[in-house]
Structure 1
Amino acid sequence: MRMLLNDDWKITWEPLSREAADAFHVRNKSKDWLDANLPCDIHMPLIKYNIIAEPLHADNCFSSEWTEKRSWWFSKHFKINAEQIASERIEITFEALDAEADVWLNDTFLGHHRSAFYPFTREVKNLIHEGENRLLVRVTSGLERYSEQDISLTRESVVPLTGNVIGVRGDERRVMVRKPQYVYGWDWGPRIATCGIVGDVRLDFSQGLRFRNAHAVTLSVDTGGNGAAQVSLQIELENLHPFRTMETSLKVELLYGSQLAVSTEAEHYLRSGINYIKLRMEVPDAKLWWPNGMGDQPLYTVRASAQSSSQRVDLPSFQFGIRTLRLNMEKLTDGNANANANANASENDKEKEKENESAILCEDVERRFAFEINGVPIFCKGANWIPADSIYARLTNESYETLLQEAKEANFNMLRIWGGGIYERDIFYEKCDEYGILVWQDFMFACAKYPDHLAWFREEVEREIDYQTLRLRNHCSLALWCGNNEVQWAFDEGWNETDAVDFFGGAICYNDIAPRIVERNCPEIPYWNGSPYGGTRPNGSVSGDRHHWHDCTMNEQMEKRITPEEYDKITAKFVSEYGYIGPCRKSSIEAYHQGLPLDRTSKVWQLHNNTFEKDTVLAGIDKHYVPSENLNIDDYLLYAGLCQGLMYGYSLESMLSKPFCSGALFWMYNDCWGEVGWSIIDYYLTRKISYYFVKRAFEPVKLILRHQNGTVTLTAINETSSTITETIAYGQSRYDAVEEDKQPIQLFHAVIPPSYRGTILEWKANEYDPHQAFQYAKSVSDLPSFKPAVLRAASFRDLMIPSALLTLSNIQDKGDCLSFSVTSDVFAHAVHFGLDERIQFSDEYFDLLPGEQRTISMRKPKPSESFSTDCLIPKCINQ
């Protein structure tokens, strides 16, 4: 039996000097209490009662920083009846306390809790009574407990960002506090120090027998023959009696929908306390779970019940996808893969030369870093995920569903949960299971040394990792546990000049605690020590994963930041971070400006401008489109959005076209506030222009063109389980579609097998004027499998393209969406439709070949929104 205690709390604040000894004083405080329900970050009632303004708007974040310098007190009265009191065991659980917390029940101190990453749980049968009871909780943001002496070994590893506009983002003390690290500020987010009871609070009443946990693992799948799968289940049952054994019948069922797939029932003789019951089941004609784009995502339901002589208890049912998982890190058969792939990069920067030299000296060998699902290698397509709100407790399930549905729509098959945020709520992993999105799960350590020389810190980490691995292990979407974000890289390159250079703070967590607990709780899920990590240099390209920052977007040379062809030089086996900055849509910028003018020189604009932007956006516009000086806001947003889209689209295709590369996760997918920043979905859940470029790059069936040393290479991708047969036209064409100047059409008959990614055709590129012509490949069937692939050899601003005439036709109402076709007489760049930017299209800001017809669907506006097809006017940049 369970009782939730989420409603009707009171909250107040006191000076930090009000500590545990003052609980009686605060409890009897008669005024200045605010009403609140859980989950509750202290900012939420303060906003509701107009005590602070919304911190994510304008520059309001500064005016709420005082909350860090207070203690926050939560109070709750609740009633217990006689039946509940009669339970053999009563436990109270606070799912998440952010962060340093003291808890009292009926004036008895239950304990101190110092982590937001695992629950506070206590047995309270002897403290609770029939009738009214009272909880009192003191919570702080956590920093006040730690002195300069406490952080002496870790301080220099945390470099706060400072400036006249952004204030101070980051805090040297954050490493001491087991809570989301990003809340003290990052390059992409403000300083809004979270604090509160940010999860459910519940009472659990148990009698005699209870389920504690279950673990489901796919042992093997038969992709031929009878299609059976071998599944193991471990059930954890607790006999609550301190000294008696118990006779129990355990029934376990696996259901597909409402249909029973397999079941087993047996008698079990339970000892006092914990009992582990291991079962093995064969599932006939198993429905296999596949990543998005490779197949379906069928989910089975695991159901169990235990019957003793006096009671029956049921395991909370959970869903389980049948699939096998492997991280392939075998040696590459071609020892010269890097050299062959990087033939056009012989003049790469000094860092690359240093890396290659080190690899030779240390005899590093190239290894894959490739995930395999059901024995099939996959290319991991996706991005890094951060908490979707600076005040993460107020996120709704609807927001999670929207964000994950949009990731699925953009053809993602992986999200990396970054190590400076949170272990996400259950709904996140449930939706990833449902949508076929694999999860790379960092443990919550990022960009700093951590004090694992302290016994209490190691104990906190042990509890955290034990809890989270048990909580998440049954999700078929969970593909990797990763120790941290960018710590090993900094050990190697970032902290060599600090006072505590020989203190590898955090290494015990990543090298001992985490792998040991993962092996104990879920050995079927791979563990990786950090990101980036692998080889002699943790951020090398020889093996493991790489954060590809300094070669491009964070290069000292502006030209390298804004030139998409720089990504053709990548030799990494898996790119787990890199990015390019672009703005939100206008409606979102207006939302966080709150009526203030949209002035790119203003304090508010610069506050919501990523600290790494460094004029890169304007330089990109200058290179690819128009002079950026004196652009109006609408043109700035259009061209900046197109530049971000160009850089993401081209770079992702570059990585997809490399046979030795097995993943591309850009930084980042979503935002915690409105900003000119890395994401493709903004804080207001609106698609940026770049969203559509990423969606096209990640299509499961596509063609990619690249030009190197006079040869054009055509790569085909078919992630589906079916063979694709197509006749492909290829060669070069003029932007203006002048018939007499066209090259003769060349045709190629292609047979693309399932789960294929590789080169299918090469041809010599005859000399041509890149300002007038381009390389292309396209299907010529009536129902083409592939969209056309286009390769431009010059920036758009330098092309000789005449004005395009766009034609709309075949408008059809299909109930929840409209379908229509669009064509152009000449090459048309960035075709879009001029509607409300929150309206979602199947594709937008795409290129059209001369004479090509593209069919597009559009989500119909809500009935309350006025809309007419007369408003559907196709536009492009060359009009």
Structure 2
Amino acid sequence: MNVQTLTGAWHFRQVGTEEWLPATVPGGVHTDLLALGRIPDPFVGDNEKHVQWVAEADWEYRYQFAAEADVLQQLRVWLVCDGLDTLAAVTLNGRFLGQTNNMFRQYRWEVKELLQAEANELVIAFASPVQFITEKQVQRPLPGVSQAIPGGSHLRKAPCQFGWDWGPQLPPIGVWKEIRLEGGGDARLADVHLQQHHADGQVNVSAALSVERWTDEALTARLRVVAPDGEENVGETAVSPTASATVNLPIANPQLWWPNGYGEQPLYQVIVSLHQGDVELDQRVYQLGLRTLKLRQDADEWGRSFEFMVNGVPIFAKGSNWIPADSFPTRISDDYLEMLIRGAAETHQNMLRVWGGGFFEEDRFYDLCDRYGILIWQDFIFSCSVYPLNDPDFLENVRIEVSENVRRLRHRTSLALWCGNNEMEWGWVDWGWKHQSDLDELKIAYDRFFHHTLPEWCAAADPDTAYWPSSPSSDTPFENPNGQQQGDAHYWDVWHGRKPFTAYRSQYPRFMSEFGFQALPPLATIRTYAEEADWNMTSYIMERHQKNDSGNSLMVGQMLDTFRLPKDFSSLVYLSMALQAEGIRYGVEHWRRHRDRVAGTLYWQLNDCWPVASWSSLDYFGRWKALHYAARRFYAPVMLSIEDAPPRQGVYVTSDLRETWEGNLRWSLETLAGEVLAAGEEPVQAAPLAATHIQTYNLKEYVTDDNRRNLVFIAELWQGDRHVTTQTAFFAPTKHLRLIAPAIQATCCHEDGVLYIELAAHSLARLVELSLDGVDVVFSDNYFDLPVGRTITITCPLPAGWQLSQAEAALRIRSVYDSFAN
């Protein structure tokens, strides 16, 4: 197969105008206009509203090119568009090829007879998606998301691009994936289905090929598997007269792939090729990890489990929800994408849920998840809306979309689950849709599609991966989607319902696939969209960058339940992040203490698509919020937690290790100034893949109404002379603690490009935040409690070109005390 990528000197214009402007492909109208200075940056201030006209207009892209000789000389040549967003009419050299209406599909046309050697013109005319959905919504109103441009469910385009409760209304238009010419000979690979078969410690890899052929000559299918150490296995077979073939290949000494934290991630290279004699006609290359993966749903004392099993080992899913990494997807660089996935892995996450309001990610995303050991819960692209699932044309469009993407992703080592949609079953039960009589037919269509049609399509194309109808769901149509007995749950009563963090302890779902709490992004990020005059939670600009109704009020309300009134805006930003971290920690620790019943937690959300106040732990620029540092602790393979019920403090160790963990627990009850009132030490044998209750300490003889605001319970886990982790618990809300200036002392040194910061406090420092002024770095720990009498060392990279003296001058340290004290 010979390929000519069609990138270069593209031009575009608004339909109805004469001026052709330079364009980037892959790209889009917004980013092209922004690069030319024709629109303001939509992410700054309130510019989002000033660029709405862009998506309301029609646009035209044009590319003039010469066809490469090695492509043109092939027997057949196809124009292949991996992604057109969304309503496009494609013309080559004046000949109309076809129209598109689905950004998730690949489109291809045979164009050999239309191509010329020197002068070719490809024109792609894009119609406004906003005008399209607006007209459709007038004809047939469909319920959707209140923060979005109405009618998005009429069009197969990423729902969140029309707006969401964390994202702007900036629907892109353009060629958003690769576009190319493919030249081939007498046959091509139409489909390859890779499977792996495990039995008695042995693995066989099979490749089932479907071939598109225009010759009666003999064809051969070849399968080559290259092990991580370079060892190769090769097998081949003849292609049958029905244009199919299956090649099986045993793998000697198979190296098993494991999720992050459970083992290594060895990846094999798999090459599937099609031959006519000695000539290779087509080839596909894959990476493959050898593993078994199933969703176990067995009856138990609480109902029915919902637990992922990898290589026969029960995995506690530790992770978060993934949204598109940019409102304009073509700006997502390889480095940026890897930074986000690596950030998940560095906090011990082993699962991401690719949320159904975005899009099927590109292959590079799944490559990274395979490499970093991140399992993927893959939603289909339906979210929080009613869709016209009784429209035959709409269904046929979706059928092709599903077929293409399931076949593209089914071999992925990281793929753990196909899920029908996000929150639509919940919507039918609790959001009032069922009371609209004009939607009765669509409710029937929903049931038919997500409980029958879609799972049948999935099973036909990918019989090896489990299917789940909706998230959340109890797997019984329209019945208690957030039930605690089976399936997965979303719990939003803490954020939307304004309940305290302690409400998390009332929940025992079989799998918690969504829950969250908002925070502002770091001040450095706020500076990119708001001037200092706007640094107020109720200012116009701050509310433009808060897409959840009353979100800033909810954040401040919970903040004042926990902390004292912050003295300035910078302190408010710090407390918002600390509050988010504390809330999510509280929930995760509870559910990990009950891992025999709860099999996973995916907090909402990992990342952002623009700079905004949101539920993310990594902001739009990849900066770590307090929650991301907390995740490194509460998702640690060996987690220490305290079930506080003052004056009782229950201490637990939860282990994801596959062998018993042994160490010691050192505990103490102290004043905030470090006076020890009681202390002890316990041996710890933490059972594998389980939560172990170490001890519950009843401290009522030491705790009184007079001193409870001055006490802290400290639990420390040690293994020999190695300190593993520390947890603290208090007997009064943080805002009522008798905090005094902690007088933190910092001593710095550096070696081999690493800055070492040794810290000690004279009084307990609550939620210590470290930063280096003017530069972004990731610390080994941050937003932690620092009791008296402990010296801890925190590390971070020494910024390139910096001397130690610069780092010492730039080091900033604050704690909760500093957020209110003048």
Q: TM-score under structure 1 normalisation?
A: 0.87
Could you tell me which runs of 5 or more consecutive residues in structure 2 were left unpaired when the two chains were aligned. Answer: none
- The one-character-per-residue Cα deviations of 1:276-302 (angstroms, maximum 9, x if unpaired) are 3141x3323322211112222111111
Q: What is residue 115 of structure 1 aligned with on the other side?
A: 102
**C-alpha distance 147-312 of structure 1, shift in aligned 2 (>3 A):** closer
8 Å CA contact retained: 1:245, 1:269:
no
Distance in 1 between residues matched to 2:204 and 2:696, nearest whole Å: 46
- Counting only pairs closer than 5 Å after superposition, residues 180-259 of structure 1 correspond to structure 2 as 180-220=158-198, 228-236=201-209, 238=211, 240-242=213-215, 244-248=216-220, 250-259=221-230
Q: Where in structure 2 are the equivalents of 1:799-818 lying within 5 Å?
A: 799-809=737-747, 811-818=748-755
Question: Which range is displaced more, 668-677 or 208-217?
Answer: 208-217
Q: Within 2, Cα distance between the matches of 1:291 and 1:175?
A: 35
1:293 counterpart residue number: 261
Q: Say whether the 8 Å CA contact 2:322–2:605 is kept in structure 1.
A: yes
Whole-angstrom CA distance in 2 between matches of 1:640 and 1:470: 43
Partner Cα separation in structure 1 for residue 104 and residue 158 of structure 2:
9
> Residues of 2 paired with 1:512 and 1:5: CA distance?
40
Q: Which residue of 2 is the match for residue 609 of structure 1?
A: 546
* Closer, same or farther: CA 783–254 of 1 in aligned 2, 3 Å: farther
What residue number does 2:4 align with? 3
* Cα displacement string for residues 694-735 of structure 1 (whole angstroms, at most 9, x for unaligned residues): 221111111111035965432212223443211212353332
Aligned-partner Cα distance in 2 for 1:575–1:671: 21
Shift of 1:771: 2.0
Q: Which amino acid aligns with 1:876?
A: S
* Residue 264 (structure 1) aligns with: 234
Match of 2:471, SS?
coil
1:32 aligns with 2:5: no
What is the match of residue 277 of structure 1?
Answer: 246
- Aligned equivalent of 1:524: 464
Q: Deviations over 1:33-62 (max 9, x none)?
A: 111121111101111111111111111111
Aligned residue for 1:771, secondary structure, equals helix
Give the corresponding residue for 2:51.
64
Q: Counterpart amino acid of 1:271? A: P
- How far residue 765 of structure 1 moved from its aligned partner, in angstroms, is 4.2
Alpha-carbon deviation of 1:775?
Answer: 3.2
How far residue 498 of structure 1 moved from its aligned partner, in angstroms, is 2.0
Q: What's 2:556 paired with?
A: 618
For the 8 Å contact 1:239–1:271, the answer to whether it is kept is no
CA shift digits 1:365-387 (9 cap, x unpaired): x2111111111111111111111
RMSD, aligned α-carbons: 2.4
Displacement after TM superposition at 1:128 (Å): 2.0
Deviation at 1:832, TM superposition (A): 2.5
1:498-520 Cα shifts (integer Å, max 9, x gaps) = 24241315444322332122212
Displacement of 1:447 after TM fit? 0.6
Greater mean alpha carbon deviation, residues 720-729 or residues 500-509: 500-509
Contact 2:235–2:247 (CA under 8 A) maintained in structure 1: no
The letter for the 2-side match of 1:61 is: E
- Alignment counterpart, residue 684 of structure 1, candidates 580, 597, 621: 621
Aligned-residue offset at 1:681: 1.1
SS at match of 2:565: coil
**For residue 830 of structure 1, what is the aligned residue in structure 2?**
767
> What residue in structure 2 maps to residue 374 of structure 1?
311
Aligned to 2:378: 441
Correspondence for 1:462: 399
Percent of aligned positions with the same letter in both sequences? 26
TM-score with structure 2 setting the length: 0.93
* 2:790 is the counterpart of 1:852: yes
How far is 1:127 from its partner?
Answer: 2.2
- Structure 2 CA distance, aligned partners of 1:79 and 1:797? 70
Instruction: Confirm or deny that 1:320 pairs with 2:273.
Output: no
Name the CA distance, whole Å, in 2 between partners of 1:149 and 1:96: 23
2:725 corresponds in structure 1 to 787
Deviation digits for residues 847-867 of structure 1 (CA, Å, limit 9, x no counterpart): 123322323211221227993
- Number of residue pairs matched by the alignment: 803
Residues 231-630 of structure 1 mapped to structure 2, 5 A cutoff:
231-236=204-209, 238=211, 240-242=213-215, 244-248=216-220, 250-260=221-231, 263-271=233-241, 274-279=243-248, 281-313=249-281, 315-332=283-300, 334-335=301-302, 366-494=303-431, 495-502=433-440, 503-504=442-443, 505-534=445-474, 535=476, 536-549=479-492, 551-555=493-497, 558=498, 560=499, 563-593=500-530, 597-612=534-549, 613=551, 615-628=553-566
Match runs of 1:611-690 below 5 Å: 611-612=548-549, 613=551, 615-628=553-566, 631-659=567-595, 660-690=597-627
Please tell me whether the aligned partners of residues 381 and 414 of structure 1 are also in contact (alpha carbons under 8 angstroms): yes
In 2, are the aligned partners of 1:98 and 1:140 still within 8 Å (CA)? no
**Distance verdict in 2 for CA 1:173–1:259, change over 3 Å:** same
Which of these residues, 79, 99, 105, is aligned with residue 92 of structure 2?
A: 105
C-alpha distance in 2 between matches for 1:239 and 1:154: 42
Task: Write the distance in 1 (CA, Å) between the matches of 2:136 and 2:630.
Answer: 49
Unpaired runs of 5+ in structure 1?
A: 16-28, 162-169, 223-227, 336-365
For each residue in 1:182-205, what CA deviation from the matched residue of structure 2 results, as whole angstroms up to 9, or x when unmatched? 111111111112111111101111
For 2:807 and 2:458, locate their aligned partners in 1 and report how far apart those are by CA, in whole Å.
56
Cα pair distance change 1:705/1:82, threshold 3 Å: closer
Alignment deviations for residues 387-423 of structure 1 (CA, whole Å, 9 cap, x no partner)? 1111222221121111111111122111111111111
In the aligned structure 1, how far is the partner of 2:726 from the partner of 2:317?
23
> What CA distance in whole angstroms lies between the structure 2 residues aligned with 1:860 and 1:190?
36
The 3-state SS of whatever aligns with 2:66 is: strand
What is the CA-CA distance between 1:828 and the residue it aligns to? 2.2
Counterparts in 2 of 1:309 and 1:148: CA distance versus 1, 3 Å = closer
Deviations 1:123-146 (A, max 9, x none): 112222333211111112324345
Q: Deviations over 1:556-590 (max 9, x none)?
A: xx4x1xx2211111121111111111101111111
- Once the two structures are TM-superposed, the CA of residue 782 in structure 1 deviates from its matched residue by 4.7
Report if aligned partners of 2:223, 2:247 keep a CA contact under 8 Å in 1: no
* 445 and 37 in structure 1: CA distance in 2 versus 1, 3 angstrom threshold: same
Q: Does 1:764 align with 2:764?
A: no
- Tell me, yes or no, if the aligned pair for 2:189 and 2:212 is still in contact at 8 Å: no
Query: Is this contact kept in 1: 2:273–2:284, CA < 8 A?
Result: no
> Quick one: structure 1 residues 215 and 817, their matched pair in 2 at CA, closer, same or farther if it must change by over 3 Å?
farther
Distance in 1 (alpha carbons) for counterparts of 2:464 and 2:692: 30
Q: Determine if contact 2:753/2:798 at 8 Å carries over to the other structure.
A: yes
Q: CA deviation at 1:154?
A: 4.8
- Name the CA distance, whole Å, in 2 between partners of 1:609 and 1:293: 35
Measured at CA, do residues 239 and 449 of structure 1 come closer, stay the same or move farther in structure 2, by a change above 3 Å? closer
Tell me how far apart the structure 2 counterparts of residues 441 and 277 of structure 1 sit (CA, whole Å). 27
Shift of 1:808: 3.4
- Partner of 2:426, secondary structure, is helix
Given the superposition, is the C-alpha separation of residues 99 and 304 from structure 1 closer, same or farther in structure 2, using an over 3 Å criterion?
Answer: closer
Instruction: Check conservation: 1:140, 1:196, Cα contact below 8 A.
Output: no
Contact 2:5 2:180 in 1 (8 A): yes
1:567 to 1:47, Cα distance in 2 relative to 1, 3 A: same
**Shift in Å at residue 171 of structure 1?**
2.6
Question: Aligned partners of 1:808 and 1:497: how far apart in 2?
Answer: 62
For the residues of structure 2 that align with 1:808 and 1:470, how far apart are their CA atoms? 55
Could you say if the C-alpha distance between residues 781 and 268 of structure 1 is closer, same or farther in structure 2, counting changes exceeding 3 Å?
Answer: closer
Which amino acid letter does the alignment assign opposite residue 71 of structure 2? Q
**Deviation digits for residues 7-45 of structure 1 (CA, Å, limit 9, x no counterpart):** 211101115xxxxxxxxxxxxx8x411111211111011
Assess, with a 3 A threshold, how the Cα gap between structure 1 residues 709 and 830 changes in structure 2: closer, same or farther: closer
Deviation at 1:258, TM superposition (A): 4.7
Shift in alpha-carbon separation, 1:377–1:761, aligned structure 2, 3 A:
farther
Residue 748 of structure 1 corresponds to: 682
